[in-house]
């Protein structure tokens, strides 16, 4: 007997895609290592290779300076016995991340990697390149690894996307009992990059993956969609604009101005 398969996805990640350096053509890389791409596939790309290909490399030996220059706003800070304080900051992409997303692993010694300058635009370019080379309509998502309040361990977040619905909106939709859904907007772009990460892994040198089976999330040619920018929630709706320690300190200062 075979399973009752209502919905099925396939997720795969190619091995040994080779070294990425400044100027590597990522569109070429994708179609070379994923020759079977089809309409509706979603290509998931680790931000690190986008940064490398775009030359977002600093030879700065001072990672702390790099974090400072990537920071728009300090959200929380904690001292560490064995090094500089951990800073959780909002960066220029609106992402709240430890160390502003500045990375010092998997790069040549004495260099650090910044996030892509405009990951939504990077995704648009990769999507167009795949379309041009193979004539297929894919979605592209770029991911980075981040921590979360209240949860141990790191997961992936979508920091750039093109041709993809980043948020699936069920508002007004009804559940199987005809009642309006309480869960209303799903961050499918984030779900996709986490699915992809299970195939990429952290050690295997597999920075590309494909998710096949959710072609409903891929937009028509000519529509790159709202991008991963739309996944950023800051300002009024942000109940955690400061860390607790910072906010308590701020409250104290308000009450006793000197």
Enumerate residues 80-109 that contact a second copy by CB under 8 A: 88, 90, 95-96, 103-109
Under DSSP, is residue 36 helix (H, G, I), strand (E, B) or coil? coil
Cβ distance to a second copy smaller for residue 174 or 222:
174
Contact between 24 and a second copy per CB under 8 A: no
At its nearest, how many Å lie between a second copy and the CB of residue 177?
A: 6
CA dihedral 212→218→221→226, nearest 10 degrees, is -140
> 191 in helix, strand or coil?
helix
* 131/229 with CB nearer a second copy: 229
> Which of residues 20, 45, 142, 231 is near a second copy by CB under 8 A?
231
Distance CA 12, CA 9 (A): 10
Stretch that binds a second copy, among 13-21, 50-58, 119-127, 131-139 (CB under 8 A): 13-21
- Token pair of 110 as six digits: 């004495």
Residue partners of 146: CB distance under 8 A and separation at least 6: 95, 97, 98, 101, 154, 155, 156, 157
Q: Which of 72, 63, 112, 75 is nearest to 93 (CA)?
A: 72
Residues touching a second copy, count (CB under 8 A): 105
The residue from 45, 100, 141, 211 that contacts a second copy (CB under 8 A) is 211
Q: Is 38 in the site for a second copy (CB under 8 A)?
A: no
Cβ–Cβ < 8 Å for 106, 48: yes
Q: Restricting to residues 114-173, which ones interact with a second copy according to CB under 8 A?
A: 145, 148-157, 166-168, 170, 173
Phi-psi label, residue 232: left if phi above 0, alpha if psi -120 to 50, beta otherwise:
beta
Query: Does 59 sit near a second copy (CB under 8 A)?
Result: no
- Pick from 5, 59, 135, 222 the residue near a second copy by CB under 8 A: 5
Residue numbers 189-208 binding a second copy by CB under 8 A: 190-192, 194-195, 197-206
- Of the candidate spans 22-30, 51-59, 125-133, 240-248, the one that interacts with a second copy by CB under 8 A turns out to be 240-248
């Amino acid at each position: 007997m075979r399973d009752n398969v209502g919905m099925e996805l396939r997720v795969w990640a190619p091995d040994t895609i080779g070294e990425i350096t400044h100027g590597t053509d990522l569109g070429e890389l994708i179609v070379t290592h994923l020759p079977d791409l089809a309409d509706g596939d979603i290509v998931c790309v680790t931000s690190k290779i986008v940064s490398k290909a775009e030359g977002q490399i600093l030879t700065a030996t001072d990672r702390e300076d790099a974090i400072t220059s990537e920071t728009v706003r300090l959200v929380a800070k904690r001292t560490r016995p064995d090094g500089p304080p951990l800073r959780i900051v909002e960066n220029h992409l609106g992402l709240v991340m430890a160390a502003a997303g500045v990375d010092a692993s998997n790069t040549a010694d004495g260099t650090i990697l910044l996030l892509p300058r405009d990951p939504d635009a990077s995704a648009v370019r990769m999507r167009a390149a795949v379309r041009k080379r193979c004539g297929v309509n894919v979605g592209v998502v770029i991911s980075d690894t981040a921590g979360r309040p209240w949860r141990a361990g790191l997961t992936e977040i979508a920091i750039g996307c093109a041709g993809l619905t980043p948020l699936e909106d069920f508002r007004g939709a009804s559940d199987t009992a005809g009642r309006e859904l309480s869960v209303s907007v799903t961050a499918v772009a984030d779900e996709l990059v986490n699915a992809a990460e299970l195939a990429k892994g952290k050690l295997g040198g597999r920075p590309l993956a494909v998710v096949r089976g959710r072609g409903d999330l891929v937009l028509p040619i000519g529509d790159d969609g709202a991008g991963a920018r739309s996944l950023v929630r800051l300002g009024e709706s942000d109940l955690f604009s400061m860390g607790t320690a910072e906010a308590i300190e701020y409250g104290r200062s308000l009450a006793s101005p000197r």
